[in-house]
Structure 1
């Protein structure tokens, strides 16, 4: 792969001037805030690592501030995904100036699939070094958490941008969310998001951007977080099982973990099956969820799967479902209650 001629952007209006020229206002309903400080922007892009001759997908580029900094670091190509049509003129201006190194995709990153975005010769084996492919984004606050959970699922299934290997991400979040992502055991910030993301990625909170650097100024500061997918997750089970167990356990964050474990099972059997689950996992049922480590969550998820293997209908049980939906689990209750102790003991 030869290195192409470096991109030398011609003189362009500043991002502040672009915003004024095209009369673009940040929309509160989309949680938009524009980052104007070029020193901070360059620092975000530098955090992504070496992107020269690589492919970069920027999500939510807005008027193109971060995009300019990316282009100056000589990637082979930059793909930006933006859903707000108001930014098209400023992005098209930048694409024209990039000498063919930039593509614009008008769409919603929450539904956009990236499995065909990058060339096949950039693929790397999963257990090898990460590919020279990077996801970068100053994310709107209202999509950051659901998007990162969606991407954790893609990492677990090795699809979308992770078809190409362990693609790295450099993203912004509200400072509080950034702290949750990296929160250690027993931290006040540790939650479902902490466990889910730390299971599939090595996560680093690189630095914090003060809210004063944005226009308009948000009510919170912003954290820049770097993700590198792990070769092997701690909990190597289907995403749906891990997500369900972790979500249910953290639904009673300040109570003992047994309370959340019980919600994994229909009412008539939940006490006995919760007991079986934490006994198989060898986890103290009187541990608070945020004090459980990833190894303990692994054992709990594996125990839940073992129990569900006995009757896969349990996988579909949702304690928050409507009364009508829960009625279909009445027969399941009776079937499982009729199991004798010998059958239950096989799992232990």
Structure 2
């Protein structure tokens, strides 16, 4: 039997102890140490051998290890300087596979750094996770975005908002933005006890794959519509959308009852509204 060519690495707990990497609450850090669980997360996007990948907030490098073991060419962005020596050691163990950027992911041009076609895989810091997701979902679609897939860890409540269907309390602007030109699903639920330190809430890994952008729809129109509609989600559309020029006329043309509330309007109906308004703008 052939031996495993992958490097033998010290347990993550030893790395954390050696470099004094207690999780920082200010940076929204919660570390995952279960290597089998981490390998399962890295497997969600599919085969990563020789594929470009991008990770935000690798911390001590738990998920980073799993992505590298899967064979990806990884760019990782870390703003916590304490973690950089541990990550550099990991880079030495996987020659040519890992490039580390010291900086804030909110300020980094992920496409320029990771390259078109990259799989974004991350246990996102809780305090910037949603903002990063919205940025990636708002990228130009021509007819697809620069990234191939998103495999992201969120608090369970955020994960439910991303995949929500019409009619429930979780359904809102984030669901529409996530689903109008992507497929979003909860790929794995992760118990709070899997993290160090354990967060107060459950978490989940969301997997998002892009699909061709609907023709004739401007993102800014969709954002204006959903901002107004869900900004007053308990009110009827005739009230919540009256501040958006042309929205009430578009409702009538498409045949959407203006007495409905935003939470009952499907992603497809919001897209149809945005398309009609985009054509008129």
Instruction: Report the TM-score when normalising by structure 2.
Output: 0.91
Distance in 1, matches of 2:231 and 2:92, equals: 50
Aligned to 2:41: 44
Q: CA–CA distance in 2 between the matches of 1:302 and 1:24?
A: 49
Q: Which stretch shows the higher mean deviation, 206-215 or 166-175? A: 166-175
Identify which of 137, 148, 165 aligns with 1:152.
137
Shift, 1:157, TM fit: 6.1
Match of 2:158 in 1: 177
In 2, Cα distance between equivalents of 1:250 and 1:292: 10
Alpha-carbon displacement from aligned partner over 1:239-285 (angstroms, at most 9, x marks no partner): 222111111111111221222211325xxxxxxx5542322332111
Larger gyration radius, structure 1 or structure 2 = 1
**SS state of the match for residue 115, structure 1?**
helix
Deviation at 1:13, TM superposition (A): 2.4
Whole-angstrom CA distance in 1 between matches of 2:5 and 2:173: 42
Tell me if structure 2 keeps the 8 A contact 1:141–1:173. Answer: yes
Q: Any idea what the Cα deviations from partners look like across 1:156-193, whole Å, max 9, x if unmatched?
A: 3679xx34xx5111111111111111111212211110
- C-alpha distance in structure 1 between counterparts of 2:279 and 2:154, whole Å: 36
Report if the CA contact (8 A) 1:257-1:286 is conserved.
Answer: yes
Contact preservation (8 Å) 1:201, 1:227: yes
Counterpart-to-counterpart distance in 2, 1:232 and 1:264: 23
Give a deviation string over 1:100-137, Cα, whole Å, max 9, x none: 22111112222211333356xxx6xxxxxxx4x31100
In the alignment, what sits opposite 2:226?
Answer: 246
TM-aligned CA distance change 1:105 to 1:236, over 3 Å: farther
1:62-112 CA-partner distances (Å, limit 9, x unpaired): 11001111111122x211111111110110110111122211111222221
Structure 1 unaligned spans of 5+: 1-5, 124-130, 266-272, 310-348
Distance 1:306 1:201 in 2: 22
Using the TM superposition, give the Cα deviation of residue 207 of structure 1 relative to its aligned residue in structure 2, in angstroms. 1.2
SS at match of 1:40: helix
CA gap 1:31/1:118 in 2 versus in 1, 3 angstroms: closer
25 and 236 in structure 1: CA distance in 2 versus 1, 3 angstrom threshold: farther
SS at match of 2:137: helix
Q: Distance in 1 between matches of 2:24 and 2:247?
A: 46
In the alignment, the residues of structure 1 paired with residue 84 and residue 60 of structure 2 have an alpha-carbon distance, to the nearest angstrom, of 8
Shift of residue 236 of structure 1?
Answer: 4.4
d(CA) in 2 for partners of 1:155, 1:224: 24
- Is residue 67 from structure 1 mapped to residue 76 from structure 2 by the alignment? no
Structure 2 residue 103 is the aligned partner of structure 1 residue 107: yes
CA contact (8 A) 1:258 1:286 kept: yes
- The two structures, once aligned, show a CA RMSD in angstroms of 2.1
Alignment-derived partner of residue 8 in structure 1: 6
Q: 1:154 to 1:7 in 2, by over 3 A?
A: farther
Partner in structure 1 of residue 88 of structure 2: 92
Instruction: Name the counterpart of 2:184.
Output: 203
Structure with higher helix content: 1
Give yes or no for contact 1:7–1:71 (8 Å, CA) kept in 2.
no
Query: Which runs of 5 or more structure 2 residues have no equivalent in the other structure?
Result: none
Structure 1 stretches of 4+ with a deviation exceeding 4 A read none
Verify the 8 A CA contact 1:61 1:82 in the aligned structure 2: yes
- Contact kept, 8 Å, 2:122 with 2:153, in 1: the verdict is yes
- Paired residues, what number? 278
Alpha-carbon distance in structure 2 between the residues aligned to 1:112 and 1:239:
22
User: Contact conserved, 2:54 with 2:114, CA < 8 A, in 1?
Assistant: no
